[in-house]
Amino acid sequence: MGWEADLFGALDDLEQQAEAMYDAERAPELADRSRAEYQQVPLAARLMASVEREVTLHVTGLGAVAGRLDRVAHDWCLVAGPTGDWVVPLAAVAAVDGASERAVPQVAWSPLARLGLGSALRRLADAGERCVLHRLGGARHDGVLRRVGQDFVEVVEGDPPHVTLVAFTALVAVQSR
């Protein structure tokens, strides 16, 4: 029985060595696959996993917007902050602090997440809330959203009141008060 135990011990040892060699050979392949798969993850998927978390968005031309991430769609997000709610186009987000380590794949998103920036702005226009529209370059428009087109929004501002059209591509954030 002694030689059988030695034989099985040697075979077990060889099997463990073979497994370790296989794992060592596969580790770079798995790392490459992981990198290749991760390059398919959009910012919106990471933010979707961060809903209800406290985050800080660093917005191009505006600075930091901090608060609870309430909603994410494919091209915008909603942050509830101490100074009001912020609708931020994802194209204006330069960096995010406080995001989840995870991502939610698009197939798992609610159909509401497919609504574009125009839908969020229409909701603000319907509510008749006073808003501040922040544009690239630092310009601001303080007024009430009136109508929302395909790629622009009308804001009524000033005294006497006048209508300004603001292109979505120029918006970096909309702050409701």
The pLDDT of residue 131 is 95
Can you say whether the dihedral through the CA atoms of 112, 116, 118, 121 is positive or negative?
positive
State pLDDT tens for residues 100-148.
999 998 888 888 888 999 999 999 999 998 999 999 999 999 999 999 9
- Give the Cα separation of 133 and 139 in Å (integer): 8
pTM score, two decimals? 0.79
DSSP 115: -
CATH architecture of 43-176: Roll (2.30)
- Which is higher by pLDDT, 124 or 13? 124
- CA atoms lying within 13 Å on the CB side of residue 18: 6
Phi, psi of 66 (to 5 degrees): -115, 145
Task: Flag whether pLDDT at 51 surpasses 70.
Answer: yes
Averaged pLDDT for residues 48-74: 96
What average pLDDT does the structure give for the chain?
88
Helix (H) or strand (E) holding 46: helix 43-48
The pLDDT of residue 36 is 67
Candidate from 18-27, 94-103, 118-127 with smallest mean pLDDT: 18-27
- Give the Cα separation of 108 and 151 in Å (integer): 27
